[in-house]
Amino acid sequence: MIEITQVNDPKEIPLSGDLYTKAFHEGITLSALLETINPTQPGDDSGIDAFGRQLKRFGIVTKNDPAHGIYASQGKLFFSSNQPSSIVLFPEYINRRINVALMERGDLLQYIVPADHWEYGSTFRSFYMDDTEIQRRGGKRAEGAPPRKIKASWSEKHVHIEDFALEVDASYEFISEATLPVLDVMLQRVALQRSLDELGEAIYVALNGDGTGKESSGAHVDTLSDMGVTTPSGIESLDFKAWLKWQSQFYPYKMTSIFGSVADLVDFYTMTTPSDQTYPMLSAIFETSGVGGKPVFVQSPFGPVNLIPFSDSDILGTDDILGVDPAFALWGHRNTQIPLVETDRLIREKWQIFVISNKVGFSNLFRAATRKLDGDA
């Protein structure tokens, strides 16, 4: 294993594939490793990290700035024969741009797994806490009585990590001639597919459990009959009163995201509302423009929700919708290590295709924070 010490000048870092090997064994990304070698100094307001300084070292410009006469580089700068070490940056550039694309587009996954609910590394275990009604019940403790217990423990098994790798048919020659903004569009499409794949896996785990052996399972299943609908015939038969009842089932959690097919979300959005004054009164309660505030239109006293289209009926069936409190539903686990074989191939070979790895898994936190509504029963 190579030994590396801190340096002040980015040019002092000897770039080679061994850096990926070291990062792999430490369970971090190349960007994180470079930052430990050439840390960004306090007070540096350039907005450039150690990886960015390596791009600057080789004159690689990632964006057009026509106002200043600066234009983005072609991919060939990564493979320049007079600066051969710059090719080492290419695999990490791909991964960074995909991550940026996810953030810039607004990752769909944030509505079920917030950005701060992720663990990064290579192997994972989920944690468990009791979430029964008795455990949640409040009330003072009688004098001398023992305190209520809440069990917290690790899962019996490691979290299962799925591989959603994508093979990109883009030759060495194409990448060399394309400008980096063109490559970004390609990587944005990869990022979009990654987001959809991960969302599907998260919803599957929310519905079916994570298989780690914890004392929990998948989402609770409610029916329209449970909510008072006498002749259920799909989500289109959901009425406003049943909707309010379903939201109340989440207490003390707060359901803020609903996932379903486009057709089911349209049916949900156009549900029958009360014909008397109940619905206008609910809206009026939150009307604050008369006292200098902004008018707020609501559909229930529980607050607004985000409607997220999800079209894979093999995971979430037709006439079913999934409600989630993202703050307490799932925990994400992402394997940040780039496969060394593919990384080495991108650095050392002229390729016709390359593979973008994506290994993720999810574990359930609190079962009561996810509920499926069956619209046919």
HEC secondary structure over 154-212? EEEEECCCEECCEEECCCHHHHHHCEHHHHHHHHHHHHHHHHHHHHHHHHHHHHHCCCC
Fold entry, domain 80-129+152-377: phage-related protein like fold (3.90.1690)
Quick one: which H or E segment has residue 100? helix 90-105
Q: What are phi and psi of 226, to 5 degrees?
A: -60, -30
HSE-CB for 359 with a 13 A CA cutoff: 15
Amino acid in position 336: T
In the chain, where does the domain assigned CATH 3.90.1690 lie? Answer: 80-129+152-377
Cα(86)–Cα(23) distance, rounded to whole angstroms?
Answer: 17
- Select from 284, 303, 304 the least CA-distant residue to 295: 284
Note if the bond before 146 is cis, omega within 30 degrees.
no
> Residue 84's CB: how many other CB atoms inside 10 A?
11
Query: How many residues are listed for the chain in this entry?
Result: 377
Contact partners, residue 115, CB within 8 Å, separation at least 6:
107
- Closest among 364, 377, 328 to 204, alpha carbons compared: 364
Written as tens digits, the pLDDT of the chain (377 aa) is 567 778 888 899 999 889 998 888 887 889 999 999 999 988 888 889 999 999 999 999 999 889 988 989 999 999 876 667 899 999 999 989 988 887 776 678 899 999 899 888 777 878 777 666 555 555 666 777 777 777 777 877 788 888 888 888 988 899 999 999 999 999 999 888 888 999 999 999 999 988 887 655 789 999 999 999 999 999 999 998 899 899 999 988 999 999 999 999 999 988 877 766 555 555 555 556 666 666 555 556 677 889 999 999 999 999 999 999 999 999 999 887 777 888 888 888 888 888 888 889 999 988 889 999 999 99
> 340-343: which pairs have CB atoms within 8 A and are 24 or more residues apart?
340/20, 340/21, 340/24, 342/91, 343/17, 343/20, 343/91
Give pTM, 2 decimals.
0.82
Query: Would you say 271 and 240 are in contact if contact means Cβ atoms under 8 Å apart?
Result: yes
Q: Identify whether the C-beta of residue 34 lies closer than 8 Å to the C-beta of residue 51.
A: yes
